[in-house]
Amino acid sequence: MGHGIQPLTSEEGVLADKAKDDKAGPEEAADEAGKKKKDDKAKGKGKDEKEEKKPKEARPKVTKEHKPDFKFIVRLAETDLNGERAVQLALSDIRGIGMRTAALVADHVGVPRKMLIGDLSDEQVEKLGTALAAIPEYIPVWMLNRQNDIDSGADVMVYGPELGINVREDINLMKKIRCYKGIRHETGQKVRGQRTKSNGRTGLTVGVTKKAMQAAAAAAKSEEGGKKEKGGEKKAEAAAPAAAAAAPKKEEKKAA
């Protein structure tokens, strides 16, 4: 037999393939890896099958055991307060009373802020009511929501339904004296200097586009042009009989 090329054994073939991979550049290796990934995705081997999501078990609701004399609704400042809320949070549900004011009221009465308001006794609830009525006596002036009142000139804390009444009276007063804010309230426009080009638009003009406005302007111009042409024709018709009557008079003058 001649000195031909002998077939490689299995071990020699593996070594030859490794040598080729080492010689190949990183780009070729990346291309081959990408091709393998595509093949795996096509076969459905690319991603592990996601485990079926188990439905979350509903947590059992924790029911708190209250005292037999627990108040589920506490009436303060003509407002029904939820008895299962803390004193500070419950007082902040009153219109005009914020978190800071509620904390100061609770501290003034000597009630824990985080204690449920439904656990308070009737005497403590009454103390909270009297403390709310006397807020200006123990709270700094800058925390009051109605300083230098128009009628009395005093610094007052208004809360509950009275706050809404005072706001309405103030708006009516601004409308009567015809100030800028009152006029804006009357017309239903924004009062505090907000943009009105794109927001707060009212009436039938909402949503008008430039194209629609241009088309309307073009139609108006065409109508004006048609009116002018009709007016010129009418003038010409009115001038025709006068010209016909003047023609024979000119001819008589020439003959004379």
- Tens digit of each residue's pLDDT (9 = 90 or more) over 128-176: 999 999 999 999 999 999 999 988 999 999 999 999 999 999 999 999 9
- How much is the pTM? 0.56
The neighbouring-strand residues paired with 146 are 156
E strands, 12-156, where? 73-76, 79-82
- Which residue is listed with tokens 């009105």? 196
> What letter represents residue 20's amino acid?
K
Whole-angstrom distance, CA of residue 235 vs CA of residue 24? 95
**What's the alpha-carbon Rg for the chain, to the nearest Å?**
45
Whole-angstrom distance, CA of residue 12 vs CA of residue 27? 26
Burial of 102 (0-12, 13-18, 19+ CB in 10 A): buried
**What tokens appear for 100 in the block?**
């800071």
Q: Which of 139, 114, 117 is nearest to 66 (CA)?
A: 117
For 229-255, what is each residue's pLDDT tens digit?
666 666 666 666 666 666 666 566 666
What is the torsional sign of CA 137, 141, 142, 147?
positive
The neighbouring-strand residues paired with 74 are 81
Per-range mean pLDDT, top range of 21-35, 36-50, 206-220: 206-220
146 φ, ψ (degrees, to nearest 5): -145, 85
Domains of the chain listed by start with CATH number? 73-143 (1.10.8.50), 160-195 (no CATH)
For 110-128, what is each residue's pLDDT tens digit?
999 999 999 999 999 999 9
Average of per-residue pLDDT values in the chain: 81
